[in-house]
């Protein structure tokens, strides 16, 4: 199963990279969303996908590893916060600048 | 701290007081407050002569960074003392001269004397430090204070240009010298010059010896304006004339000479040193004197003349270094060259100092330094004229002035090259006396031009800004003293200099040559009989007069040398190219487009990871530990892949938002399947909120247009993203196949209830075992929400103003 998951994660990273390389802001945000999904699944996969009970003491052991789950939980919340911020930032940037093309969002060149 | 240390840094300390004097006593010229210090120092160093003349060396150590062997070790020996006396002696005279030269109302005297004192202290530090790092620190301080002094009239563009140029060139050499010092330290384990000299014979075959030699020489050549680094010196003439007289004739430019003389016992063991020092010296001598003739500005002539005289001293030091290869001091032919170098060093300081002061007086009293406008000043300025005659005749090497003596010894030294059978010198030895002789002819010509074009001929009052008249008496004191020294040294060189100054200096340059109880016997003859040197001098005078009189006819020779090939053009070109080149380089990759930066980052990511996987042979696939594949998981994985890939091809914004949401929900289903209930919950809620947020913004979000980029770009993006995906997969697989130690989770499983009284392990880890993560995760959320609020509510730039 881990091999399949590694490939899924690879594909998530691949699509995320492709979207992040595009010019439209919205695509970039979607890309970051996919990237965080990929990263979370990667953490889960690396913690071994052994079949065990959920990490609740009421269940019968053996349990799955609780530590990666705690890490992912933290990461999910943080990436949500960042995504929400980024989304509003994109919205404001679009309102202020009138474009969503990041190639056109250049200020004055530093050296000139 | 000994008195000696205090004496060395006294100018630096005193510099702090100068602005106070300037502010408090505006009626009195600040120079008067500064003047006593160098005189006291001169007297102090003068008292050391009785010590050094008996070959004794005074060493005082002040700990600075003892753990690294860097201590302020002051060492007074013959060579250091000679320079210290020059620095303080000429320094006193220059300050006296500057009091009359610089106006107390128009000039900012506080900065001038502060810089000058900084320079004086730095220079004393250079020549009296035994520790190379300390010497380097003072060396750079001379570069800095020289930079400040050249740019003293910073309103003038040429001053700034000259200051920058001298800074770039001398600091370039200084850094090279630092490299040489470090290499010396690597070879010998010491920064002390005395200790390094003691090990000179052990390190000569070390592989770092030649690099160290080249680096040190680069430092010395740039500081002493040797070809081709001499170009900064003529531009440094934008400094006030007292500065030119002090720094750029008598002291700073001789720091390189000092360095070469000081390190001769270390490096002259190798023939390369002799070759380079003598070779560059003689080329500089010729080129300086050749270029001086075509100059029309008094100070430019003097600048090129300084370059040429420094070359002369350098070549003598090079030839003199050959003396180390012959035992003993009796019948050692090459010691005469070093003697000549030391002697000419003193002579040059006297006559060049006085000539610069003369140039300053002419400038001050007529308003110009252009020899085409000057002429016939003899009647207006008889004293200045007399001083100028003495200085220039000494420079040209005529009796009865000291330049004659050192020039004769110079010829003697160069003739001895003919007999040098070391380091393959035989093949080109004949060039040395010939070039030396030709250069002397040119020296004679520009010396004559300097004095006769200025003071004789037709007076052209219409071209002058002021009506010329004799300088005030105070301005004449310093050059008069120097000019009298020129004559006194000629007649009394033996009684004054040989025993007291030159012999101890030689002992410092050749510490290994002296055996117990012997000493250098320097005897400078005024008349040494009909020897080849005398005929060479007569030839110089005859040809010099001939060429001087016919100068208008052969002046065209300077036109032959194309201006484009001039070294200044080269320097300016290099500077401009470096600026344009780095600008172009930066512009070529700093495009300002986020996309290209991401391309760099991802490409680097792929390359570095792929290389390390390949080089370290790290890829590994171990299928023994993998868990079995379930049908639900497989289906879910398939859906996720389809969802992710469809986002790339989504044509509308709604589709891409929904697809992202779909992927998120399927991820939460994964969490369900992989026994992570808390994760599944959170993911479900957050995905819902995110999609809601997207949909709330949906109305305002930009329409998803078709990417209007060219196919090539899309292909590149696709290649990079495929690369990233493959790399992540490969690394995940190899990481999974290598597990070196057990997970620490067993501890959590065992202790969740007993230690933390909870049954949900994930929650206990979040709030108990690793509660700090949660605290700051909450902070992140708080900051994000505040940021979002701020972004929506605060519109300082546009909204409110309009």
Of B529, B555, B581, which one is at a domain's C-terminal end?
B555
Number of domains comprising chain B: 2
C-alpha B178/C-alpha B220 separation (Å) is 11
Q: For residue A15, list chain B residues with Cβ-Cβ distance below 8 A.
A: 644-645, 647-648, 721, 725
When CB atoms are compared, the residue of A4, A19, A95 closest to B647 is A19
pLDDT digits (tens, 9 = 90+) for B601-637: 999 999 999 999 888 887 777 777 777 888 888 999 9
CATH topology of domain A2-53+61-109: Helix Hairpins (1.10.287)
Size of interface A-B (CB pairs under 8 A): 270
**pLDDT for position B800:** 46
Q: For residue B798, list chain A residues with Cβ-Cβ distance below 8 A.
A: 96
C-alpha B555/C-alpha B539 separation (Å) is 21
**pLDDT for position B330:** 64
Report the pLDDT averaged over residues B402-425.
Answer: 80
CB B627 within 8 A of CB A49: yes
Report the pLDDT averaged over residues B225-236.
Answer: 88
Q: Is B58 helix (H, G, I), strand (E, B) or coil?
A: strand
**pLDDT for position B370:** 85
Of B496, B520, B555, which one is at a domain's C-terminal end?
B555
Q: Which residue has the higher pLDDT, B555 or B517?
A: B555
Report the pLDDT averaged over residues B42-59.
Answer: 86
Helices within B47-131 (DSSP H only)? 49-52, 78-101, 109-128
When CB atoms are compared, the residue of B720, B748, B781 closest to A21 is B720
pLDDT digits (tens, 9 = 90+) for B355-373: 999 988 888 888 888 888 8
Question: Could you tell me the residue range of the domain that residue B770 belongs to?
Answer: 748-802
Does some domain include residue B702? no
β-pair type (B70-76, B58-65) = antiparallel
Does some domain include residue B379? yes
Helices A2-20 and B711-737 meet at what angle, rounded to 10?
A: 150
C-alpha B637/C-alpha B645 separation (Å) is 12
Report the pLDDT averaged over residues B266-288.
Answer: 88
Whether A58 sits inside 8 A of B660 (CB atoms) is no
**pLDDT for position B526:** 62
pLDDT digits (tens, 9 = 90+) for B508-540: 888 777 665 566 666 666 666 677 778 888 888
Question: Looking at residue B795, what DSSP letter applies?
Answer: -
Q: Which of B421-425, B510-514, B707-711 has the lowest mean pLDDT?
A: B707-711
Q: Is B760 helix (H, G, I), strand (E, B) or coil?
A: strand
- Is B705 an interface residue toward A (CB < 8 Å)? yes
pLDDT digits (tens, 9 = 90+) for B483-514: 888 888 888 877 777 778 888 888 888 877 76
Does some domain include residue B204? no
Question: Looking at residue B376, what DSSP letter applies?
Answer: -
Report the pLDDT averaged over residues B129-140.
Answer: 92
Nearest residue on chain A to B593, judged by CA atoms?
A103
- Is B779 an interface residue toward A (CB < 8 Å)? no
The half-sphere exposure of B732 on its side-chain side, counting CA atoms within 13 A, is 30
**pLDDT for position A112:** 38
CB B42 within 8 A of CB B471: no
Residue B68 has pLDDT above 90, yes or no: no
Whether B705 sits inside 8 A of A3 (CB atoms) is no
When mean pLDDT is compared over B99-103, B455-459, B726-730, the highest value belongs to: B726-730
Of B501, B520, B555, which one is at a domain's C-terminal end?
B555
| pLDDT bracket for residue B123 (50, 70, 90) | very high
Gap from A28 CA to chain B (nearest CA, Å): 10
Whether A87 sits inside 8 A of B761 (CB atoms) is no
C-alpha B203/C-alpha B10 separation (Å) is 37
Q: Which of A51-55, B10-14, B139-143, B728-732 has the lowest mean pLDDT?
A: A51-55
Q: Which of B93-97, B422-426, B670-674, B706-710 has the lowest mean pLDDT?
A: B706-710
Nearest residue on chain A to B665, judged by CA atoms?
A37
């Amino acid at each position: 199963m881990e091999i399949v998951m590694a490939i899924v994660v690879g594909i998530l990273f691949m699509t995320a990279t492709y979207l992040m390389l595009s010019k439209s802001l919205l695509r970039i945000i979607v890309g970051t969303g996919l990237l965080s999904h990929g990263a979370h699944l990667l953490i889960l996969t690396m913690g071994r996908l052994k079949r065990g009970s959920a990490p609740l003491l009421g269940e019968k052991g053996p349990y799955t590893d609780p530590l990666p789950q705690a890490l992912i939980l933290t990461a999910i919340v943080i990436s949500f916060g960042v995504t929400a911020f980024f989304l509003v930032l994109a919205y404001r940037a679009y309102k202020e600048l009138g474009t969503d093309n990041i190639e056109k969002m250049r200020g004055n060149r530093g050296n000139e | 701290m000994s008195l000696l240390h205090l004496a060395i840094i006294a100018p630096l300390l005193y510099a702090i007081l100068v602005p106070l004097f300037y502010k408090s006593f505006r009626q009195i010229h600040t120079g008067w407050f500064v003047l006593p210090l160098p005189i006291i120092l001169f007297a102090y160093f003068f008292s050391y002569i009785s010590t050094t003349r008996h070959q004794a060396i005074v060493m005082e150590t002040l700990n600075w960074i003892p753990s690294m062997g860097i201590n302020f070790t002051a060492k007074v020996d013959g060579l250091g003392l000679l320079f210290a006396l020059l620095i303080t002696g000429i320094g006193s005279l220059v300050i006296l001269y500057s009091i009359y030269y610089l106006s107390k109302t128009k000039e900012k005297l506080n900065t001038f004397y502060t810089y000058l004192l900084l320079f004086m202290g730095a220079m004393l530090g250079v020549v009296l430090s035994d520790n190379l790092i300390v010497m380097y620190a003072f060396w750079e301080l001379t570069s800095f204070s020289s930079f400040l002094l050249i740019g003293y009239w910073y309103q003038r563009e040429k001053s700034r240009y000259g200051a920058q140029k001298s800074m770039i060139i001398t600091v370039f050499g200084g850094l090279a010298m630092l490299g040489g010092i470090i290499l010396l330290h690597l070879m010998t384990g010491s920064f002390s010059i005395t200790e390094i000299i003691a090990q000179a014979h052990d390190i000569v075959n070390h592989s770092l010896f030649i690099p160290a030699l080249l680096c040190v020489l680069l430092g010395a050549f740039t500081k002493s304006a040797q070809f081709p680094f001499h170009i900064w010196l003529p531009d440094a003439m934008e400094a006030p004339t007292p500065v030119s007289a002090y720094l750029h004739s008598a002291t700073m430019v001789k720091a390189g000479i000092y360095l070469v003389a000081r390190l001769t016992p270390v490096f002259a063991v190798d023939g390369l040193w002799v070759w380079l020092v003598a070779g560059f010296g003689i080329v500089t001598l010729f080129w300086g004197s050749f270029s001086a003739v075509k100059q029309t500005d008094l100070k430019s002539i003097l600048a090129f003349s300084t370059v040429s005289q420094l070359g002369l001293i350098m070549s003598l030091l090079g030839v003199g270094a050959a003396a180390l290869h012959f035992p003993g001091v009796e019948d050692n032919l090459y010691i005469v060259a070093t003697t000549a170098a030391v002697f000419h060093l003193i002579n040059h300081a006297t006559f060049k100092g006085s000539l610069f002061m003369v140039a300053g007086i002419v400038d001050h009293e007529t308003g110009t330094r252009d020899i085409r406008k000057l002429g016939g000043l003899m009647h207006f300025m008889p004293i200045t004229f007399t001083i100028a005659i003495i200085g220039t005749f000494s420079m040209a090497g005529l009796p009865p002035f000291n330049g004659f003596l050192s020039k004769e010894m110079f010829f003697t030294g160069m003739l001895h090259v003919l007999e040098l059978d070391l380091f393959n010198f035989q093949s080109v030895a004949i060039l040395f006396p010939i070039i030396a002789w030709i250069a002397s002819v040119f020296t004679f010509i520009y010396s004559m031009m300097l004095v006769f074009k200025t003071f004789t001929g037709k007076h052209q009052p219409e071209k002058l800004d002021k009506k010329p008249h004799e300088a005030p008496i105070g301005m004449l004191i310093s050059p008069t003293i120097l000019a009298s020294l020129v004559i006194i040294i000629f007649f009394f060189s033996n009684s004054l200099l040989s025993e007291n100054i030159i012999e101890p200096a030689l002992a410092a340059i050749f510490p290994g040559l002296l055996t117990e109880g012997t000493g250098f016997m320097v005897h400078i003859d005024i008349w040494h009989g009909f020897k080849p040197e005398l005929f060479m001098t007569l030839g110089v005078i005859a040809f010099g007069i001939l060429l001087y009189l016919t100068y208008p006819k052969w002046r065209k020779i300077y036109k032959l040398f194309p201006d484009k090939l001039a070294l200044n053009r080269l320097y300016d070109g290099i500077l401009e190219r470096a600026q344009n080149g780095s600008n172009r380089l930066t512009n070529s990759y700093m495009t300002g487009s986020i996309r290209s930066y991401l391309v760099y980052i991802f490409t680097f990511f792929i390359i570095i990871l792929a290389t390390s996987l390949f080089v370290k042979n790290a890829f590994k696939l171990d299928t023994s530990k993998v868990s079995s594949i379930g049908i639900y998981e497989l289906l879910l994985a398939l859906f996720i892949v389809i969802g992710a890939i469809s986002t790339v091809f989504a044509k509308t914004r709604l589709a891409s938002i929904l697809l992202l949401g779909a992927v998120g929900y399927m991820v939460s289903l994964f969490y369900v399947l992989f026994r992570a209930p808390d994760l599944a919950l959170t993911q479900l809620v957050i995905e819902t909120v995110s999609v809601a947020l997207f949909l709330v913004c949906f109305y305002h979000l930009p329409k998803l247009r078709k990417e209007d980029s060219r196919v090539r770009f899309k292909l590149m993006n696709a290649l990079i993203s495929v690369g990233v995906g493959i790399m992540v997969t490969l690394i995940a697989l190899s990481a999974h196949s290598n597990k070196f130690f057990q997970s620490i989770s067993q501890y959590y499983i065992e202790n969740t209830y007993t230690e933390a009284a909870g049954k949900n392990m994930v929650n206990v880890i979040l709030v108990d075992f690793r509660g700090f993560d949660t605290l700051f995760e909450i902070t992140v959320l708080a900051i994000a929400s505040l940021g979002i609020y701020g972004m929506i509510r605060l519109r300082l730039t546009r909204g409110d103003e309009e």
